[in-house]
């Protein structure tokens, strides 16, 4: 395996932070604190990227707002996985015409996976003149430099060159909340599932050094975070590019060894790389949540093959049986695509059958969305949107029924949960998660946020459990 991880030198990142100081001087206003709005679409990796963007913006002296009219700078961090997300982004960026008209000095940036696609960068260039800065995921580490260029040269800047990607340490982070934290352990994807745009826009798999990850995890624990989610497109191939003899299971053990009361979660796992060693390690690590998000995508072997998933349905089911033999209480969730080009009624029925067999605790279901440049985009796709929608509805009904049944099994039981926030409603004012990640609504004092407590489950529905604290 090639040792291919490209790293950005730490002096480079220090230079970017210095540029933030320069920007702070340049942007300073004596009248008021300048404000930034960061709008994030898509997956958790994007949320984690937005934390870096906010980190840089905070270094530049910005405060934060959710209101586009009061924002001096707006950063829209986009997603390219499905057309729906792209349409929402384009609609919302188009709507910023109003704010820019009201305040022409406003700076508008669009970044992330969507603009890493050539045709999308071009579209923004031609049709959205209000956008000042466009940069892809590979350029995020030099956001300060790019922004300075916009301000000094008073020109629109586009930084979306093709790149395999790099790893940059030391970018300042600004996390939302004090209980749950994302921790990126690797970037990119090498799998090239035939429907997926991610490998084209996020580049090759690159792992962070284990010491850097452990140091960040220690810091999070010291800051009081209780729920740490390790992020990567396919965490099970962590370390393959590093030549350090540390795989994902080893990394889990290293983080589990950090003293403190906290939970380790991770996503996403590819079934082809989920090993017995991983399941055994999860079972042995007391801080590792009993939750496995293992996207199956389809229950039909022909479809799995044309999706380039590299496993069949029997192997998937066997892997889950193995995982459950180590952790009988394991919560299993999945992603499924319906309406892949050429998927027939019978092939879709295999997916339904697999769901009935596995009984997922929750399923994230999507209608196939054609992505420019992927192999699936040129496959014959004879079925209509209505036919696909009918399959989607049938799958949703199955998913909801099974989730509801699984949730009902919790009723009357006492479970340990981490209270993570307020719901804004009177009756059940707090939200919390079980070790396996199921949502539990509670009534209680907000001072419980950030604490592990025991609750008795009194009611449930498809989406959530409802509970009472043990002492009332």
Q: Given the complex with ligand SF4, which of 198 and 415 has the nearer CB atom? A: 198
Judge residue 412's burial from the number of C-beta atoms within 10 Å of its C-beta, 0-12 exposed, 13-18 middle, 19 or more buried. Answer: exposed
3-state secondary structure of 384: coil
What mask, x for binding ligand SF4 by CB under 6 A, covers residues 93 to 112? --------------------
Q: Considering the complex, what minimum distance in angstroms separates the CB of residue 189 from ligand SF4? A: 3
Own/partner contacts of 93-102, CB < 8 Å, gap of 24 or more, are: 93/124, 93/128, 93/130, 93/131, 94/128, 96/68, 96/130, 97/130, 99/68, 99/69, 99/71, 99/74, 100/130, 102/69
Range 259-318, binding ligand SF4 (CB under 6 A): 270
Tokens representing 366 are 């999507």
Picked from ligand 5AD, ligand SF4, none, the partner binding residue 270 (CB below 5 to 8 A depending on kind) is ligand SF4
Q: Smallest distance from the beta carbon of 386 to ligand 5AD, in angstroms?
A: 17
Q: Count residues contacting ligand 5AD (CB under 6 A)?
A: 12
For the bound state, the minimum distance from the C-beta of residue 377 to ligand SF4, rounded and expressed in Å, comes to 14
Tell which one of 173, 193, 201, 376 touches ligand SF4 (CB under 6 A): 193
The closest alpha carbon to 384, from 339, 337, 347, belongs to: 339
Q: Which range of residues in 193-201, 213-221, 392-400, 420-428 is near ligand SF4 by CB under 6 A?
A: 193-201
What would the DSSP string read from start to end of 102-164?
Answer: H-TT-EEEEEEHHHHSHHHHHHHHHH-TT--EEE-GGGGGGHHHHHHHHHHH-S-EEE-----
Does position 195 interact with ligand 5AD (CB under 6 A)? The reply is yes
Q: For the segment 379-418, give every residue that binds ligand 5AD (CB under 6 A).
A: none
Which of 37, 38, 80, 81 is in the footprint of ligand 5AD by CB under 6 A?
A: 81
Closest residue by Cα to residue 360 from 440, 248, 457, 437: 437
Q: Does 186 bind ligand SF4 (CB under 6 A)?
A: no
Q: Can residue 80 be called a binding residue for ligand 5AD (CB under 6 A)?
A: no
Among 233, 434, 435, 460, binds ligand SF4 (CB under 6 A): 233
Q: Which residues of 179-214 are buried (b: 16+ CB within 10 A; e: fewer)?
A: bbbbbbbbbbbebebbbbbbbbbbbbbbbbbbeebe
| 48: partner contacted, choices ligand 5AD, ligand SF4, none (Cβ within 5-8 A by kind) | none
Q: Which residues pair with 442 in a beta bridge?
A: 430, 467
469 binds, among ligand 5AD, ligand SF4, none (CB under 5 to 8 A by kind): none
| Rounded least distance, CB 289 to ligand 5AD, Å | 19
Q: How many other CB atoms are found less than 10 A from the CB of residue 312?
A: 15
Using the 8-state DSSP alphabet, how is residue 209 labeled?
P
Return the residue nearest ligand 5AD (CB atom): 335
CA distances from 273 to 82, 200, 277, 410 (A): 25, 21, 11, 31
How far apart are CB 80 and ligand SF4 at their closest, in Å? 11
Q: Three-state DSSP class for 208? A: coil
Q: Which is nearer to ligand SF4, 120 or 196 (CB)?
A: 196
- Output 393-398 pairs: Cβ under 8 A, ≥24 positions apart: 394/348, 394/352, 395/336, 395/338, 395/348, 395/351, 395/352, 395/355, 395/363, 395/365, 396/365, 398/352, 398/355, 398/356
- CB under 5 to 8 A by kind: which of ligand SF4, ligand 5AD, none does 192 bind? ligand SF4
The correct pick among 319, 371, 391, 441 for binding ligand 5AD (CB under 6 A) is 371
Residue 335 binds ligand 5AD, judged by CB under 6 A: yes
Contact 7, 169 (CB under 8 A): yes
Query: For ligand 5AD, which is the closer residue by CB, 182 or 368?
Result: 368
User: Of ligand 5AD, ligand SF4, none, which one does residue 368 interact with (CB within 5 to 8 Å by kind)?
Assistant: ligand 5AD
What count of residues does the chain have? Answer: 472
Report in angstroms how near the CB of residue 407 gets to ligand SF4 at its nearest. 27
Instruction: Determine if 371 is a binding residue for ligand SF4 (CB under 6 A).
Output: no
The percent of the chain in helix, strand and coil, each rounded to the nearest 5, is: 40, 20, 40
Q: Does the footprint of ligand 5AD cover residue 297 (CB under 6 A)?
A: yes
Q: Binding to ligand SF4 by residue 198, rule CB under 6 A?
A: yes
Contact 466, 457 (CB under 8 A): yes
Interface of this chain with ligand 5AD, residues 351 to 370, rule: CB under 6 A: 366, 368-369
- Figure out which of the listed residues 189, 320, 354, 395 binds ligand SF4, where binding follows CB under 6 A: 189
Query: Whose Cβ is closer to ligand SF4: residue 365's or residue 432's?
Result: 365
User: Are the CB atoms for 87 and 55 separated by under 8 Å?
Assistant: no
Judged by the rule CB under 6 A, the positions of this chain that interact with ligand 5AD are: 81-82, 195-196, 295, 297, 335, 337, 366, 368-369, 371
Judged by the rule CB under 6 A, the positions of this chain that interact with ligand SF4 are: 189, 191-193, 196, 198-199, 233-234, 270
């Amino acid at each position: 395996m090639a040792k291919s991880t490209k790293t950005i030198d730490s002096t480079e990142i220090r230079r970017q932070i210095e540029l933030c100081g320069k920007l702070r001087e340049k942007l300073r206003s004596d009248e008021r604190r300048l404000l930034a709005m960061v709008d994030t679409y898509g997956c958790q990796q994007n949320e984690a990227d937005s934390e870096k963007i906010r980190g840089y913006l905070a270094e530049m002296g910005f405060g934060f707002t959710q209101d586009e009219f009061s924002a001096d700078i707006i950063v829209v961090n986009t997603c390219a996985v499905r057309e729906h997300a792209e349409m929402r982004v384009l609609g919302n960026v188009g709507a910023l015409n109003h704010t820019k008209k009201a305040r022409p000095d406003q700076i508008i940036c669009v970044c992330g996976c969507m603009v890493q696609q050539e045709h999308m960068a071009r579209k923004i260039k031609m049709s959205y003149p209000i956008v000042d800065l466009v940069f892809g995921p590979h350029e995020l580490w030099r956001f300060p430099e790019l922004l300075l260029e916009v301000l000094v040269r008073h020109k629109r800047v586009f930084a979306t060159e093709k790149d395999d990607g790099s790893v940059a340490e030391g970018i300042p982070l600004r996390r939302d909340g004090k209980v749950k934290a994302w921790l990126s352990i690797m970037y990119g994807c090498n799998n090239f599932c035939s429907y997926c745009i991610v490998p084209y826009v996020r580049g090759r798999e690159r792992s962070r050094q284990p010491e850097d990850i452990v140091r960040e995890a220690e810091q999070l624990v010291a800051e009081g975070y209780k729920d740490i989610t390790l992020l990567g497109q396919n965490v099970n191939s962590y370390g393959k590019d590093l030549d350090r003899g540390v795989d994902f299971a080893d990394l889990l053990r290293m983080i589990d060894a950090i003293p403190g009361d906290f939970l380790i979660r991770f996503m996403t796992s590819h079934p082809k790389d989920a090993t017995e060693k991983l399941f055994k390690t999860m079972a042995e690590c007391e801080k590792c949540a009993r939750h496995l998000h293992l996207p199956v995508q389809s229950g039909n072997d022909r479809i799995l093959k044309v999706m380039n998933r590299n496993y069949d349905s029997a192997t998937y089911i066997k892997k889950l049986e193995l995982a459950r033999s180590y952790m009988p209480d394991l919560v299993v969730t999945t992603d499924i695509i319906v309406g892949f080009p050429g998927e027939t009624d019978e092939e879709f029925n295999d997916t339904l059958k697999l769901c009935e067999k596995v009984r997922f605790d929750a399923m994230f279901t999507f209608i196939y969305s054609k992505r420019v440049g992927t192999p699936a985009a040129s496959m014959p796709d004879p079925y209509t949107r209505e036919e696909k929608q009918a399959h989607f509805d049938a799958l949703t009904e199955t998913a909801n029924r099974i989730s509801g049944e699984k949730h009902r099994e919790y009723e009357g039981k006492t479970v340990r949960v981490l209270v993570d926030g307020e719901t804004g409603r009177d009756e059940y004012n707090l939200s919390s998660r079980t070790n396996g990640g199921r949502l539990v609504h509670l009534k209680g004092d907000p001072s419980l946020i950030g604490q592990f407590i025991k609750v008795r489950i009194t009611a449930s529905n498809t989406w959530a459990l409802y509970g009472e604290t043990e002492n009332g």
